[in-house]
Structure 1
Amino acid sequence: MARSTFPEWIFDGSEIADPMGRGERAVRWLGKLKHPKSPLPGKPFQLDPWQERIVRAIYGPRHADGTRIVKTVVLLLPRGNRKTSLAAALALLHTIGPERVPGGEVISAAADRKQARLAYAEALGIVRTVPQAAANTRVVDYRNRLTFPRDGSFYEAISADAGTQHGRTPAFVLADELHAWPKRDLWDVLRSGLVKQKGSLLIVATTAGRGQENVAWDIVEDARKVARGEVDDPSILPILFEAERDCDWTDEDVWHRVNPGLAHGYPDLEGLRQLAREGQRRIGDREAFRQLNLNIWLDHSADPFVDMEVYDAGAGEVDLELLAGEPCWLGVDLSSNHDLTAVVAAWRDERGGYLVHPWFFCPEQNLRIRADRDGVPYPSWADQGFITPTPGNVVDFRTVEDTIRGLCDRFAVQEIAFDPHLARNMLNNLAEDGLPAVEMRQGWVTMAPAVKELERAIVGRQLAHGGHPVLRWCFDNIAVHTDSAGNRMFHKGKSRDRIDGAVACAMAVSRASAEAGASIYDSDEWSPELMVL
């Protein structure tokens, strides 16, 4: 059984090594700070027991030569648990506190200027509340910079949209809300800069994100492997407060487990209850609650196509034997070397809905490599017949063409829709033999209406797909681009997130919608067993 990623050590009272007293020193120094928003008498900085344990775990453990063991902290914490306040205080520990180094650069980085300003404002508020700290620092507010002139160390807040930051040599980096960073450029610059400075420290403080199209996914997933013991890397300290994907998201015991601040009055429990009530009525609010307040990293992309629970309503059996000889439309999405190739058949029904079934193809030679890269069980899918491996290290289009010809023999295929980009030869071969191969370019003009019709069918629970696991994975990976007129189209996003089956499905459904065709319900042989929802 896999080990949990939950940081039990924060609450179990176990010993945290501190051979040189650096953890104790950090805790004592932070305890002398004040916070302008503190409700306590004298406005002390509130360092609650769970936060104190984190500080001790970062600064206490040391190598034999006295250097700090922890180099990277991955703090995955739901909103409202004061991670920005804690991170800002740690930044000050390296700017004006005992962890500072002469000339040290302390950087907090965020997705945009507004978010970057939040961490800086926290740090500045703390400094201004402590007279001694305020007297020994210089503020350059328009640059979001705080300087300690005596040692030349400084704290500066920057954003991912602020252009190049090459040349940085930070001693401390706070990567704030990393899940929201639009690209990894700033991350790579800061990460490479940290290795220039001996004893540097990186703190990733973020809530959960959506999909795998962001740098945070890789960092958090690596931290999970460390937490589970799959990777032995004591330089990484994973602090992952995240609920299980299949948890009861309305259970307040789950809320308390992943929101360590609740025991100390934050976030507001009544506020969480209100959000949960709204989430029970509205899908979008429910997903936001799961992501932001329970730290459940959602599977779908940042701009999902449909609610996958609604999609799953069509997972009943689609009996191909009963559909033999019935009119159908094929959508074909041929792949480059790195994608799946998909062929999807669509049949109409009298309710205005569709039955669909896919066939997927993948190079046999790269099957296990692809499984490791994409994090999905390609070999198992192949063994179960959900994917057809083709000889070699690229998809064999001859196998795909033979499959299409076989479908034309088996079903009354009305059209075979191809994007001509990679399909010119196959399209011509089929057309020359009298098969109904047609062009359907994957641009806005054709795909926006196709996506709209597919969405209508799914949301209306009028798409039966049989629960095919590879097709479901493709739909779960979709990111959507929306133009100024509100038209939507699929976006492949990161290369490992395959959506080829969903694209082919949209093509097939679109052609089935465009053609009147003969409904399967008009046939004397039709029975309700054709589609079981």
Structure 2
Amino acid sequence: MARKRTPSPAAAESGISPEVAWYMEERGIPLPDCPPRFQTPSPREAPGAVFDPERVDRVLRAFHLLRHTQGKWAGKPLDPDPWQVAYILAPVFGYVRWDDEAEGYVRIVRKLYVEVPRRNGKTTLSGGIAVYLMAGDGEAGAQVYAVATNERQARFTFDPIRQIAERAPALKGNVKAFTKKITHPASGSYFTVVSSIAEAMHGANVHGAIIDELHVHKTPDLVETVETGTGSRRQPLVVTITTADDSRQGSIYDRKRGYVEQLARGALTDPDTYGVVWGADPDADPFSEDTWRAANPGYGVSPSAAYLRGAAAEARQSPADLAKFLRLHLGLRTKQETKYLQLEDWDRNASMVDEQRLAGREAYGGLDLSATSDLTSLCWLFPDDERGGFDAVWRVWTPEERLKDLDKRTAGEASVWVRQGLLHLTPGNVVDYDFIKAQIERDMDAFDVRSLGYDPWNASQLTNDLMELGAPMVKVRQGFATMSPPTKELQRLLLAGTAERPLLRHGGNACVRWQVDNFAVAMDPAGNVKPAKDKAGDKIDAVAALITALSEAMTREQPVRSAYEDGGLEVV
């Protein structure tokens, strides 16, 4: 065991613990100069922590016995890069503490989170760790899993690791590789894929797991099932290696990334979890080589400077390619594939909306009935000829049996919205349209409703019932020709509005804000846009209802006075 050491200035500046810096100097491994953007406290801070260099030696020897399988390095030893040793392998495998139940020293870190841009060796790193946990960790009957969301992702995750195991000369006769499983007969251990909760529960005695690309997991269920299956192991290790996501709120990625940031800031303490996140400073020049180097610890080797220059050249040509470049190569969480609405613009226009003062006011509505089993939204817009722009009020419904799922996707915020009256529950597992009809009747009594737009493609008995009640129902088709003008108008209102003179006053509705953050658009060759639910991070029904209402409000004979009339913004 290594004694506690005093950090050298170079190691401290790079975020490398004194013991790891000593280890690298002793083994002749150069110190890297690519510190992560976020790094949780070193495992050395845990009570009883000691550093065991021989454990790190064993891991590096195991990696050396493996072989690269692709490109110019094919056939060469899978020796980790210095940054991988300094920031990942040595801290995770080197720091141990005494465990009375195990009657020996065990690893401190049980959950490892690594976020790094594409082409920085995620596959080879995770492959080496997976093979080591199966065949070199000294765990009898080790069950190690690649955690995937479906069969296709399972192939991307498992196949490269199987090739590494198959092509390592030192493993011949020691491991057996099959289509979906690798076995180590001497220890009774195996490595395989799970892509469903049922498969994960079948094992339920997890020693190790590799979760690749966490952001593709739409729900936390499978990941959490694997994590909770480690309870009977002495020193389990669940490894999450991922790139950045598109900023979906409430996702399993969002929760784990946020947790690592909290640990890095010192807001929380959890010595069992160790995380490193590489990414560019959001304010840095995305086309600067210094920015590329800061975001990519493997810069110059993998990815190469030439590769990033080519990717950057593509990013200069279109917003969609830029968003992809920022996320995949600079580690920045982008909002959606094609950015259209910015949260800062939305928040700037919040203002106050007093529904009681809207009584009797001229109103235009938009009704989105696209998802009877999830969210249904109604938006009322009230033109204001004196202040300019609109006041907006929403009604959003979800079936009560869907609330639990919605809570998972919003980190528990959905239940808060219910308590705040921003989200209304209807009985059962589908939205009860009788509740919506009753609310629209009340709104028609309270407001001067001029029209209520709806998508005829999703027309239902509800729309027929509303027509019989005398509601001024108007078909608003959802194609580019109809949706592009109000979608662009929404963007212009938000851009032109200021905190002093907001043009779309929405009162800061948190349920709608979540959907604005999810919002994405589709664009045709002519530059027309429309809401794109298939590209959105999650639900955008409330925004779709707003755009439908705005489509109706734009038909007013008396134009709404706005900032555009004084020449402050040119409309093209």
Per the TM superposition, whether the score is higher than 0.5 is: yes
Deviation (angstroms), 1:110: 2.3
In the TM superposition, 1:326-405 aligns within 5 A as 329-331=364-366, 344-345=380-381, 355-359=389-393, 394=421
| 1:212/1:51 CA distance change after superposition, 3 Å | same
| 1:246/1:347 CA distance change after superposition, 3 Å | farther
Distance in 2, Cα, partners of 1:461 & 1:443: 22
Aligned: 1:120 with 2:158: yes
Give the 3-state SS of the residue equivalent to 2:303 in structure 1.
coil
Aligned: 1:512 with 2:522: no
| 1:434/1:41 CA distance change after superposition, 3 Å | closer
Q: TM-score when scaled to structure 2?
A: 0.66
Distance in 2, Cα, partners of 1:122 & 1:450: 43
Aligned: 1:90 with 2:129: yes
Distance in 2, Cα, partners of 1:14 & 1:526: 60
Q: Give me the identity figure in percent.
A: 22
In the TM superposition, 1:32-181 aligns within 5 A as 32-37=65-70, 39=72, 43-53=76-86, 54-65=88-99, 66-97=105-136, 99-140=137-178, 142=179, 144-160=180-196, 164-168=199-203, 169-181=205-217
Amino acid at match of 2:421: V
Aligned: 1:191 with 2:227: yes
Deviation (angstroms), 1:205: 0.7
| 1:52/1:510 CA distance change after superposition, 3 Å | same
Check the 8 A contact 1:19/1:60 in 2, yes or no: yes
Unaligned runs of 5+ in 2: 1-10, 21-43, 45-49, 100-104, 354-359, 397-406, 425-431, 460-474, 499-504, 524-528
* Partner residue in 2 for 1:464: 493
Give the 3-state SS of the residue equivalent to 1:260 in structure 2.
coil
Aligned: 1:449 with 2:462: no
Deviation (angstroms), 1:530: 9.8
Give the 3-state SS of the residue equivalent to 2:316 in structure 1.
helix
Q: TM-score when scaled to structure 1?
A: 0.71
Check the 8 A contact 1:420/1:441 in 2, yes or no: no
Check the 8 A contact 2:68/2:75 in 1, yes or no: no
In the TM superposition, 1:18-29 aligns within 5 A as 19-21=51-53, 22-29=55-62
Q: 1:125-144: CA deviations, max 9, x gaps?
A: 3333432311211222x2x2
| 1:317/1:90 CA distance change after superposition, 3 Å | closer
Give the 3-state SS of the residue equivalent to 1:329 in structure 2.
strand
Distance in 1, Cα, partners of 2:183 & 2:411: 45
Distance in 2, Cα, partners of 1:217 & 1:183: 11
Give the 3-state SS of the residue equivalent to 2:191 in structure 1.
strand
| 1:64/1:209 CA distance change after superposition, 3 Å | same
Amino acid at match of 1:281: Q
Check the 8 A contact 1:449/1:510 in 2, yes or no: no
Give the 3-state SS of the residue equivalent to 1:520 in structure 2.
coil
Give the 3-state SS of the residue equivalent to 2:330 in structure 1.
coil
Distance in 2, Cα, partners of 1:298 & 1:129: 38
| 1:532/1:283 CA distance change after superposition, 3 Å | closer
Amino acid at match of 2:315: G
Distance in 2, Cα, partners of 1:89 & 1:290: 28
Aligned: 1:235 with 2:276: no
Structure 2 residue aligned with 1:216, among 249, 253, 256? 253
Check the 8 A contact 2:60/2:79 in 1, yes or no: no
Deviation (angstroms), 1:451: 7.5
Deviation (angstroms), 1:240: 0.7
Unaligned runs of 5+ in 1: 1-6, 363-369, 380-388, 398-418
* Partner residue in 1 for 2:501: none
In the TM superposition, 1:482-497 aligns within 5 A as 490=533
Aligned: 1:286 with 2:315: no
Give the 3-state SS of the residue equivalent to 1:222 in structure 2.
helix
* Partner residue in 2 for 1:385: none
Indicate the larger mover: 273-282 or 40-49: 40-49
| 1:136/1:393 CA distance change after superposition, 3 Å | closer
* Partner residue in 2 for 1:403: none
Distance in 2, Cα, partners of 1:240 & 1:170: 25
Check the 8 A contact 2:365/2:449 in 1, yes or no: no
Amino acid at match of 2:61: R
Structure 2 residue aligned with 1:424, among 412, 437, 459? 437
Q: 1:246-296: CA deviations, max 9, x gaps?
A: 433222212111110114x11122222222122122111111111111111
Deviation (angstroms), 1:508: 1.6
Distance in 2, Cα, partners of 1:288 & 1:344: 35
